[in-house]
Amino acid sequence: MTFKVISKHPAEEKSNIDLHTSLGSLSLPYPVLTASGCAGSGKELSNFFDLSKIGAVVTKSIMANPRSGRATPRMAETPSGMLNSIGLQGPGVEAFMNDDVPWLSKMGARIIVSIAGNSVEEFGRTAARVRRAGAVVSAIEINISCPNVSNRGLVFACAPQSASEVVNTVRRAVGPQFPIFAKLSPDVTDIVEIARACVDAGATGLAMINTLLGMVIDTKTLKPKVAGITGGLSGPAIRPVGVRAVWQVHSALPKVPIIGMGGIMSGEDAFEYVLAGASAVSVGTASFHDPSAAIRIQNELNHLLVHHGFDSLKEAIGFGHRQTEEKEDRS
Amino acid sequence: MTFKVISKHPAEEKSNIDLHTSLGSLSLPYPVLTASGCAGSGKELSNFFDLSKIGAVVTKSIMANPRSGRATPRMAETPSGMLNSIGLQGPGVEAFMNDDVPWLSKMGARIIVSIAGNSVEEFGRTAARVRRAGAVVSAIEINISCPNVSNRGLVFACAPQSASEVVNTVRRAVGPQFPIFAKLSPDVTDIVEIARACVDAGATGLAMINTLLGMVIDTKTLKPKVAGITGGLSGPAIRPVGVRAVWQVHSALPKVPIIGMGGIMSGEDAFEYVLAGASAVSVGTASFHDPSAAIRIQNELNHLLVHHGFDSLKEAIGFGHRQTEEKEDRS
Amino acid sequence: MKASIPTPLQVRGEVISLKRVGDYFQLSIAAPGIAERMKPGQFVALAVGGQRSSMLLRRAFSIYTADPRGVFGGTVEIVFAVQGGGTKWLSQLQAHSPVDVVGPLGTPFPIPAVPVKALLVGGGYGAAPLFSLADLLRTRGCRVEMILGAATGARLFGVVEGRRAASQLILVTEDASLGLSGKVTDHLDAVVERSGTELIYACGPMGMLKAISFYAKTKGIPAQCLVEEEMACGIGVCMTCVLPIRGEDGLTRMTRACVSGPSFDGESVLWDSIGTIPAGTYGSEASS
Amino acid sequence: MKASIPTPLQVRGEVISLKRVGDYFQLSIAAPGIAERMKPGQFVALAVGGQRSSMLLRRAFSIYTADPRGVFGGTVEIVFAVQGGGTKWLSQLQAHSPVDVVGPLGTPFPIPAVPVKALLVGGGYGAAPLFSLADLLRTRGCRVEMILGAATGARLFGVVEGRRAASQLILVTEDASLGLSGKVTDHLDAVVERSGTELIYACGPMGMLKAISFYAKTKGIPAQCLVEEEMACGIGVCMTCVLPIRGEDGLTRMTRACVSGPSFDGESVLWDSIGTIPAGTYGSEASS
Ligand SMILES: Cc1cc2nc3c(=O)[nH]c(=O)nc-3n(C[C@H](O)[C@H](O)[C@H](O)COP(=O)(O)OP(=O)(O)OC[C@H]3O[C@@H](n4cnc5c(N)ncnc54)[C@H](O)[C@@H]3O)c2cc1C
Ligand SMILES: Cc1cc2nc3c(=O)[nH]c(=O)nc-3n(C[C@H](O)[C@H](O)[C@H](O)COP(=O)(O)OP(=O)(O)OC[C@H]3O[C@@H](n4cnc5c(N)ncnc54)[C@H](O)[C@@H]3O)c2cc1C
Ligand SMILES: Cc1cc2nc3c(=O)[nH]c(=O)nc-3n(C[C@H](O)[C@H](O)[C@H](O)COP(=O)(O)O)c2cc1C
Ligand SMILES: Cc1cc2nc3c(=O)[nH]c(=O)nc-3n(C[C@H](O)[C@H](O)[C@H](O)COP(=O)(O)O)c2cc1C
Ligand code: FES
Ligand code: FES
C-alpha cells in the first residue's frame, strides 16, 4: 500500500468499510469492545446502544467465588482521568455464568469473559468453568494484574515467570484452540518481556493496558482519597502510555494480535491505537462519561478510516510503523 | 501532634510559617524548586519572579559535551499533559558552569545542577566538574533516566545495578558530604527497589518522578507525533503516579529525603506530595502554562499549611501516612 | 412499594435559566425525553467543564422539578451548591449553553400502595427531590408534612414550594435564622408524635439520614433515605457507588447506590459500616 | 539592526471584542502593560480552555495591533484561524471573558538603521504582524510595499489595513478570487524588480518562507522570516521550538524560535533541514 493522504473529497467517500477483525482464532465483525470493569455485565449499557453492534462485551473480571470488593471511597477524579479501587467486586464465576452470560447472549452480544484469581490454580479453575459454557463465550481475557496471594501479594503481571504460569494454566484449562488474551499491566520495566512470556505460554494475543498504579491524597482530610490507599489510574491521561505500550509490543511481536486500550474517548484515539498496532480496541472510562461511547467511537473510527482512504480496518493495523523508520530511544 | 481539622477561623490565621526544609545535608529556606528541564538556565523565569525566593533552581540536565538534542517536532500536547522529546540539548558542562551558574548565583538563587550521562564514567566526570565550582552549587541531581550507551541503550534508572553504579561514581566524584539526589523514573516494576539501591550507593536523597515513557500518533500524518517516536509524559495527568511513587518510597525508607514532582500545578498539588512524604517539591510543566508557577505554588502551599494548623512545613512531611493504617494492595 | 424504572436517555440539553436561590443555584435545562419519564427520587448526571474539560466524570443531581410540557420541550430543574470545579462550572453557565444530560437515573422513591401519613425531611439542597414526591403522594391520597432544615436560612431550600406541596411545613435552622432552632432531628419526634407519621422520606447529609433511620426504627416507621455516594458512572457499570445494604434474606451486600438507590430503606443500610466491608458481607473474606 | 527586547508580563486580560473577518477571527484583549511594551514581530501566548482545561499549553499568536491607550487600558489584537481545541475555544469567547495573556514574547523584527525600500509579504493570517511593522518602518523613513497572498479571498487578511499601511499593496489568491492569481512567490520577482526592494519581511507558511528565502538569497536581498514552530512554553525554558540556524560564526545550532525568533534572517535558516539535526550541528553526534 502506498502513502495515504487526507482525502480531499469527503463527498465521494464510501461511508462504510470492512471493520471485521481477526485476533488469532477469534474473529469479530467489529473492532470496538468494552473494557473489563467498565461495562458491568452489559445490561446497563444496553439501555444506550445495541450490544450486538460492537465487537464484543468484555465483562468485569470474575473470580471463582463471590467478592465484596473494597470499602468506599472507591474513586477519585484526577486531571483527565480517574483513580479506582473497586477490588474486583463480583458474584463469582458460577452465578455469573448462570445469570449474566445467558442474558448477554440473548442480546446477540459476543462475549469475552475476563477472569481474575488470587492464585494460579484459581485462574485455571475459573477458566475451566467459563469454557464449560461452550461457544456462547467467544474468548477469555486473563486479568493478570491481580496480587498473587501466595507470593507476598506481588502482581502476576509484574514478572514474566508468574504471568507465564497463569497463562499456561489457563491454556491447559481451555484447550488448545480457544482464544485467550493476557491483559498486561503498564507498571513494569519492560512490557515486551512480559508480553513475550505470555505469548510463549500460549496466549492467543494480548490486551493492554490495564490501569497505572496511582494515588490521590485528599487535601481536606489529609488522608488517601480511596479506601484502598492506591488505585488504578485510567482515562485519557494515560493514553500516551497505552499507545506506547502497544507500539513497543507490536514492534517486537508484529504477528501477535493486540487489543489496545487506555484513555480512548474518540474515534481518533481508537485510530491512534490501531496505527500503533492494535487489531481491536476497548473502551473503558469513556463509558462513564458517555454511556454510548463504544458505538460512537466505532462509528467515528469507521469515518476516519474512510477519510484516510483505507479499504478495511485490517489495512490500518500497525500502519504507523510502516510510516516510520524506527529509531526509538528516549530523552 | 494531634489530628488536624480545617481551621474555621481563617481570619485568625498566621499568614506565614516556617517553610524551611532539610534534605539531608542540604538545607533550603523554601520547599519549592524548579524541575530540571523546565526552567532553562533560570534567566527566562527571572522575568516573572525573584529566583532567590524559591528553594532552588534545578537546572536542565547537563552532559559532559555540548548536545544538539533531537530533531523536531519535540512535543505533543496530551490530555492534561504533554509529551516531550528534547534529547537533553545543552551547551556541555564547561560552558554551563562558566556562563549560567555565575549568573544564577549573582541573582541569589540556590543552584541544584542536574547532570546526565551516556556512561557511568561521563556522570562521574561531569559531577567532578560541577563540584569544582565549590559552594556556588548547592547540590547535584543525577538524572539517571538516560540510556546507557554501553548496555543496549537501557536506561540507568531501570535496574538497581546500573542506578547504583551511577550514584556510587558520582558520590566518589563529589566527596562524602556533598548533597546528591538520584532522580528516579516511574517506568519500573518496583521503584522502591531502585530507590534503595540509590540510597545504598550513597545518594543523599531522591527526586521523583521523571516523565513516563509515552507516545502520540498524529492521526493526520499517521506517524508518531514527535521525531523521537516516544517521549516523556509530564503534567497533571501523571500526578497520581508521582504521588504514589513518593508514598511508596517514603513508606519503605521514611528517613530518606524526597524531592517530589510530577504534575504539580497548585499549592494543593504540592501539599499532596508533602503529605505523601516529600520534603521539597519541583515544579515542571506548570511553568509552561504559568511562568510564575513556582512562586505562586509556594505561596499557596504556605496558606494551606497555615489553614490546616501546621506550624511548619516539616510537621506536614509524610503526614498522610500518620493518618492511615497501612493496608496497601491493589485491584 | 416497587416502582418500575424508566429507561435513561442521553440528551444534549440546553440551559433555559440559571438563578441564585439563597446559597444555591437553580438550573433549568431543556432536556427532551427526560422530564417525560422521570419519577420522584431520580437524578440526572451532567457532563461538566465543556469540550476539552479535564473533568471526566459526570456530576449527579437530584431532579427538583420535571416539566414535560415546558416552553422549550421537556424541562428538568436541579438545585445545587458550589463545591468544586464541576459545580463551579455549572454556576457559570449562561442561557442557551449546551449541557449534556443523562437521566433519569436511579430507582424512584417507592410509593405506598395505600394512602398514608407521610413525613418528608430535607436537609439543605436535599430538599430538592421532595417536592415532586409530595405532589405524587398527594395524588395518591397521602397526607404530606415536611420538615426542611439547614445550618442557616440561606441554605434552606424550597420554603415557598414547601408551603404549596405540604399540608404542614416545619422549618429548622441551626443558627435559628428561620423557623425553629437546632437540627431537624431535634424536632422530629414532636412532629411524628403529633402527626401520627406512618412513613418517612429523607434526603440530606449522611449524619442526618443515619439519625433519622435510627429514630424511625425505634418507632417502627419505615424511612426511605436518599443517599449521596460518589458516583463515577451513575448508570451501574463501575461499582464505585456501593454501600453495605442488608437484603431481605438477611445477607449484607455491597450495593450500588446509582441503580438500587439512591434511596434505600433506612433500616437496610448499615450506616455505621459505611466506608468498611462489614464482617459477613456477601463475598467478603470473612464470609467465603 | 538589533532591537532591545522588552520584558514579558503575565496579565489577566479581558476580551473586548471578537469578530469574524473572512475565514479568521479577530480578537481584541485588554491586557494592560503588554501593548505598552510590544514591538512589531512579537507575539502573545494565551492560556486556553478555561479553569479546568485539559489543554495545558499556551497558544502563540502574533500581535496584530497594540494600542497602549485603548478605552479599557492597553489593548492587543490578534487574528487567528480555528485549527484545534485551543483556537476553537478562543473562537467562542465572549466580551468580558477573562483571558490569561503572557507577552510580549520573542525578539522583535530587526529594523534597519537607515531608510530602505522594504517589501512585506504575508501569507494568510501571517499578514497580522506586518501592519505594525509597516507603520514603524514608515516612521523610520522606509518605503513600504506589501504583498498579501492566500488560497482564497476569505483567507486574505488585512486588505483594508494594507492599503493604509503600505504605499503599494499587491493581492494574490490561488483561486484568483481577489487580486492576482497564483502564489505570492509567483509575483515576487516582478515586484522586487520594479520596486528595487532592499529588504524583505515575510510571515506565512513554511513553504512560502523557504521559497522567499531562496529567492532573496539569489538576489542578495536580506529576508526576515517569521516562523511558526510548535512551542510548549513560549518563554525560552523548554527547548521544544528549536530549528537549525547557522550563526555568524558559521556553526549551525538548534536555536529557540520563541526567544531568538520567531523571525530569523532567511539565509541563516537551514530550511531543508528543519525536522532533522543537520550534520555538523553544534552538539550533534557527528560534530562532537
Ligand atoms: C444521587 C445524588 C444526588 C445528588 N443531588 C444533589 C443535588 O441535588 N444538589 C447538589 O448540590 N448536589 C447533589 N449531589 C452531590 C453532587 O453530585 C456533588 O456536589 C458534585 O458532584 C460535586 O462536584 P464538584 O465538581 O463541584 O466537586 P468535586 O469535589 O471537584 O468533585 C470531584 C468528584 O467527586 C464527586 N463528588 C464530590 N462531592 C460529591 C458528593 N457530595 N456526592 C457525590 N459525589 C461527589 C464528583 O462527582 C466528582 O466526581 C448529589 C449526589 C448524588 C450521588
Ligand atoms: C510565533 C507564532 C505566532 C503565531 N501566530 C499566529 C497567528 O497570528 N494566527 C494564528 O491563527 N495562528 C498563529 N500561530 C499558530 C497558532 O499558535 C496555532 O494555530 C495554535 O496553537 C493552534 O492551537 P489549537 O489548539 O487550535 O490546535 P491544536 O492542533 O489542538 O494544538 C495542539 C498543540 O499544537 C500546537 N500547535 C498547533 N498548530 C500550531 C502551529 N501552527 N504553530 C505552533 N504551534 C501549533 C498548539 O500550540 C498546541 O500546543 C502562531 C504560532 C507561533 C509559534
Ligand atoms: C472502575 C474500573 C474498573 C475496572 N475493572 C477492571 C477489571 O475488573 N478487570 C480488568 O482487567 N480491568 C479493569 N479495569 C481496567 C480497564 O479495563 C482498562 O484496562 C483501563 O481502565 C484503561 O482503559 P480506559 O482508560 O479506557 O478506562 C477497570 C477500570 C476501571 C476504571
Ligand atoms: C520539556 C521537558 C524537559 C525536561 N528535561 C529534563 C531534564 O533535562 N532532566 C530531568 O531530570 N528531567 C527533565 N524533565 C522532567 C521534569 O524535570 C519532571 O521530572 C517531569 O516533567 C514531571 O514533572 P512535571 O509534571 O511538573 O513537569 C523534563 C520535562 C519536560 C516537560
Ligand atoms: S456510579 Fe457506577 S455503578 Fe454506581
Ligand atoms: S517554546 Fe519553550 S523554549 Fe521556545
DSSP A45: G
Establish whether residue A129 lines the binding site of ligand 3, counting it when its CB lies within 6 angstroms of any ligand atom: no
The three cell numbers of residue A50 are: 445495541
Residue pointed to by grid coordinates 497533571: B236
Q: Name, in order, each residue with C-beta under 8 angstroms of A98's C-beta and a sequence gap of 6 or more.
A: none
DSSP A97: H
Distance CA A256, CA B220 (A): 26
Atom of ligand 3 nearest to the CA of A242: 22
Partners of C54 on chain B (C-beta within 8 Å) are 79-80, 236
Distance CA B21, CA A193 (A): 41
Whole-model pTM?
A: 0.96
For chain A, say whether C4 makes contact (Cβ under 8 Å).
no
Query: Quick one: pLDDT band at residue A193, thresholds 50, 70, 90?
Result: very high
Distance CA B324, CA D26 (A): 54
Residues forming CATH 3.40.50.80 domain(s) in chain C: 109-228
- Cα(A89) to centroid of ligand 1, in Å? 23
If we measure between CA atoms, which residue out of B140, B193, B172, B143 comes closest to residue B24? Answer: B140
Distance CA B237, CA B263 (A): 7
pLDDT at B6 over 60: no
Per-residue pLDDT tens digits for D250-287: 999 999 999 999 999 999 999 999 999 999 999 997 54
**Count of alpha carbons within 13 angstroms of residue C7, beta-carbon side:** 8
Partners of A80 on chain D (C-beta within 8 Å) are 54
Distance CA C199, CA C111 (A): 10
SS (H, E, C) B61-97: CECCCCECCCCCCCEEEECCEEEECCCCCECCHHHHH
Establish whether residue C229 lines the binding site of ligand 1, counting it when its CB lies within 6 angstroms of any ligand atom: yes
Establish whether residue A285 lines the binding site of ligand 3, counting it when its CB lies within 6 angstroms of any ligand atom: yes
For chain B, say whether C54 makes contact (Cβ under 8 Å).
yes
Among this protein's residues, is A38 annotated catalytic?
A: no
Chains B, C: CB contacts within 8 A come to 3
- H/E stretch holding A171: helix A160-174
Chains A, D: CB contacts within 8 A come to 3
Tell me whether residue A221 is exposed, middle or buried, using C-beta atoms within 10 angstroms of its C-beta: 0 to 12, 13 to 18, 19 or more. Answer: middle
8 Å CB contact of D50 and C49: yes
DSSP D174: T
Per-residue pLDDT tens digits for A265-302: 999 999 999 999 999 999 999 999 999 999 999 999 99
- Cα(A181) to centroid of ligand 2, in Å? 42
Query: Quick one: pLDDT band at residue B150, thresholds 50, 70, 90?
Result: confident
Establish whether residue A126 lines the binding site of ligand 3, counting it when its CB lies within 6 angstroms of any ligand atom: no
Residues C232, A82 contacting (CB under 8 angstroms): yes
Establish whether residue C129 lines the binding site of ligand 5, counting it when its CB lies within 6 angstroms of any ligand atom: no
Mode of pairing for the β-strands spanning A75-78 and A81-84: antiparallel
If we measure between CA atoms, which residue out of B135, B262, B122 comes closest to residue B191? Answer: B262
Q: Name, in order, each residue with C-beta under 8 angstroms of A136's C-beta and a sequence gap of 6 or more.
A: A101, A102, A105, A111
A262: region left, alpha or beta (phi > 0 left; psi from -120 to 50 alpha): left
Q: Count CB-CB contacts under 10 A for residue C141.
A: 10
CATH 3.30.450.20 fits C9-105, yes or no: no
Residues C264, C224 contacting (CB under 8 angstroms): yes
Alpha helix segments (H runs only) across chain A: 93-106, 120-132, 160-174, 191-200, 239-252, 267-276, 286-289, 293-307, 313-316, 319-322
Partners of B66 on chain D (C-beta within 8 Å) are 282-283, 287-288
φ/ψ of D172, rounded to 5, equals: -140, 125
Partners of D229 on chain B (C-beta within 8 Å) are 72
Distance CA D271, CA D277 (A): 12
Distance CA B278, CA B262 (A): 12
Mode of pairing for the β-strands spanning A139-143 and D263-265: unpaired
Q: In this predicted complex, what is the ipTM?
A: 0.96
Most informative mutation of D43, D230, D239 for ligand 6 (most atoms within 8 A of CB): D239
Which residue, among D5, D42, D239, D272, would best test binding to B if mutated, counting the most B CBs under 10 Å from its CB? D239
8 Å CB contact of D52 and C55: yes
Give the pLDDT score at A325: 56
8 Å CB contact of B84 and D240: yes
SS3 content of chain C, % helix, strand, coil (to 5): 25, 35, 45
- Closest residue, chain B, to A222 (C-alpha): B320
pLDDT at D117 over 90: yes
Residues forming CATH 2.40.30.10 domain(s) in chain D: 9-105
Kindly identify the ligand whose nearest atom is closest to the C-alpha of A141.
3
SS3 content of chain D, % helix, strand, coil (to 5): 25, 35, 45
Distance CA A57, CA A105 (A): 10
Residue pointed to by grid coordinates 493496608: B327
Q: Which residues of A sit within 8 Å Cβ distance of C?
A: 37-40, 43-45, 47-48, 60, 65-75, 77, 79-82, 84, 86, 89-92, 227, 235-236, 285, 287-292
Give the pLDDT score at A233: 97
Q: Which residues of C sit within 8 Å Cβ distance of D?
A: 49-55, 85, 88-89
pLDDT at B261 over 80: yes
Mode of pairing for the β-strands spanning A205-208 and A212-214: unpaired
Atom of ligand 1 nearest to the CA of C64: 8
Partners of C274 on chain A (C-beta within 8 Å) are 72
Distance CA A143, CA A60 (A): 10
Query: Quick one: pLDDT band at residue B1, thresholds 50, 70, 90?
Result: very low
Distance CA A90, CA A69 (A): 7
**A9-23, A217-231, C231-245, C263-277: range with lowest mean pLDDT:** A9-23
| Distance (Å) from the alpha carbon of B176 to chain D's nearest alpha carbon | 32
Atom of ligand 6 nearest to the CA of D234: 1
Distance CA D48, CA D58 (A): 6
Distance CA C272, CA D245 (A): 69
For chain A, say whether D54 makes contact (Cβ under 8 Å).
yes
- Cα(D258) to centroid of ligand 6, in Å? 5
* Chains contacting D (3+ CB pairs below 8 angstroms): A, B, C
Establish whether residue C234 lines the binding site of ligand 5, counting it when its CB lies within 6 angstroms of any ligand atom: yes
Give the pLDDT score at A8: 38
Q: Which amino acid, one-letter code, is at A278? A: A
Distances (CA, A) of B330 to A118, A221, A230, B310, D42: 12, 22, 7, 31, 51
Nearest to A237 among B211, B237, B271 (CB): B237
DSSP A35: P
Give the pLDDT score at C283: 95
Establish whether residue C45 lines the binding site of ligand 1, counting it when its CB lies within 6 angstroms of any ligand atom: no
Pick the CATH number of C109-228 from 3.40.50.300, 1.10.150.80, 3.40.930.10, 3.40.50.80: 3.40.50.80
Query: How confident is the prediction for chain B on average, in pLDDT?
Result: 93
Per-residue pLDDT tens digits for D52-95: 999 999 999 999 999 998 787 899 999 999 999 999 999 999 99
Partners of C85 on chain D (C-beta within 8 Å) are 51-52
Which residue, among D233, D243, D255, would best test binding to B if mutated, counting the most B CBs under 10 Å from its CB? D233
Residue pointed to by grid coordinates 548496555: B151
8 Å CB contact of A271 and B84: no
Of the residues A38, A146, A158, A198, which is catalytic?
A: A146
Q: Is the peptide bond before A66 cis (omega within 30 degrees of 0)?
A: no
Give the pLDDT score at B161: 96
Along the 288 residues of chain C, how does pLDDT read in single tens digits? 445 788 999 999 999 999 999 999 999 999 999 999 999 999 999 999 998 999 999 999 999 999 998 777 899 999 999 999 999 999 999 999 999 999 999 999 999 999 999 999 999 999 999 999 999 999 999 999 999 999 999 999 999 999 999 999 999 999 999 999 999 999 999 999 999 999 999 999 999 999 999 999 999 999 999 999 999 999 999 999 999 999 999 999 999 999 999 999 999 999 999 999 999 999 997 544
DSSP D287: T
Radius of gyration of chain B (CA): 19
